[in-house]
Amino acid sequence: MVAGMQPPANEPGAQVEAANIKLAVRDLSISYGRDTALGNVSLEIREHEIFGIIGPANAGKTSFLKSLNRMDMFNSDMHVKGEVLFNGLNIRKLRNIYALRSRIGVVFPLPVGLPMTIYDNVALAPRLSGMKNKADLDVIVERCLTRAALWDEVKDRLNSLGSLLSGGQQQRLTIARALSQEPELLMLDEFSIAVDPVTTMRIEDVLKELKAEMTIILVTNLVQQARRLADRTAFFLAGECVEIGETEDLFTDKVKDQRTNDYIEGRFG
């Protein structure tokens, strides 16, 4: 596992959080022009937990993930206010964005394949970090493809273009590429949309194992998937973080907000 990112002395806004808090969000608000996507969200995500986020479309879930990886810098219309502390460092004031992204892996709903071979897709991040030994790269490629439930299907055509894979295979390649970074934080946004149910369950099993190595944020519109995987879950609705609790509590009479219960019971969504 990559060592924790420590606040450099020359970085402004460095703060120290409790040792078991991987990510702390303070009064986070996101807007696009005049439209508010997320308002005044505060939450903490613990180290080595799977943190689920559920909610209907346009609840602010994807915007939340983008803010954690500073993807707003690619969208001049996206405006973010508040603090995001990663390992105690306020990433909203961080200058070296690339160092941050090397520690945060992201998988979005639709696969984004790079125009290169299957092998090179997975080997890219290790190579960028300075790894050159072919034997070491081979080990990483096989391990990441295996964890993404793809190795058996592509092991005999690693030199084929990743773009020639099926949609579901490309999504699993994206997961393998994210894992090759050895991230401290892995963010998954509806990863199973393009993946068949059997493969989805295989990847879920892998995510349970990966929790021992990293922190995982799982955005899903499948409430039962959150129930199977997440230690704690947040319910987002119309730009508001309505409720956060132990996942199983949200499926029992311990739920605090009726809107959460209505969503989980399928009354809207």
Mapped to the 3 state alphabet, what secondary structure does 53-89 carry? Answer: EECCCCCCHHHHHHHHCCHHHHCCCEEEEEEEEECCE
Q: Is residue 249 part of a domain?
A: yes
pLDDT at 7 > cutoff 70 = no
Helix H, strand E, coil C: the string for 79-97 is: EEEEEEEECCEEHHHCCCH
Find the mean pLDDT for residues 198-224.
93
Q: Is residue 21 part of a domain?
A: no
What pLDDT sits at residue 5? 43
Q: Tens digits of per-residue pLDDT, 43-101?
A: 999 999 999 999 999 999 999 999 998 988 888 999 999 999 999 999 988 888 888 88
Short-list 253, 211, 215, 217, CA closest to 236: 217
Taking CA atoms, 223 is separated from 33, 48, 200, 230, 261, in Å, by 31, 21, 14, 10, 11
Domain total in the chain: 1
Query: Does residue 40 fall inside a structural domain?
Result: no
> Quick one: pLDDT at residue 109?
84
Q: Read off the CATH number of the domain in which 240 is found.
A: 3.40.50.300
Burial bucket for residue 20 (CB in 10 Å: 0-12, 13-18, 19+): exposed
Using CA atoms, how far apart are residues 178 and 181, in angstroms rounded to an integer? 6
Question: Angle at the Cα of 178 (from 172 to 182), degrees rounded to 5?
Answer: 130
How many residues does the structure list for the chain?
269
> Is residue 247 situated within a structural domain?
yes
How far is Cα 89 from Cα 8, in angstroms, rounded to an integer? 9
Mean pLDDT of 165-183: 91
Per-residue pLDDT band at 13 (split at 50, 70, 90): very low
In a domain, 136, yes or no: yes
- Residue 25 within any structural domain of the chain: no
Burial of 3 (0-12, 13-18, 19+ CB in 10 A): exposed
Confirm whether 117 is domain-assigned. Answer: yes
Measured over the CA atoms of residue 31, residue 36, residue 40 and residue 44, the dihedral's sign is negative
Confidence of residue 12 (pLDDT cuts 50, 70, 90): very low
Model pTM score? 0.87
Q: What is the dihedral of CA 165, 167, 169, 170, to 10 degrees?
A: 80
- Rounded to whole angstroms, the Cα distance separating 178 from 207 reads 13
> What's the rounded Cα separation, in Å, for the pair 8 and 209?
31
Q: Tens digit of pLDDT for each residue in 108-167? A: 887 776 889 999 999 999 999 899 999 999 999 999 999 999 999 999 999 999 999 988
CA 79 vs CA 33, 136, 187: distances in Å: 8, 41, 21
Residue 7 located in a structural domain: no
What range defines the domain where residue 216 resides? 49-71+97-264
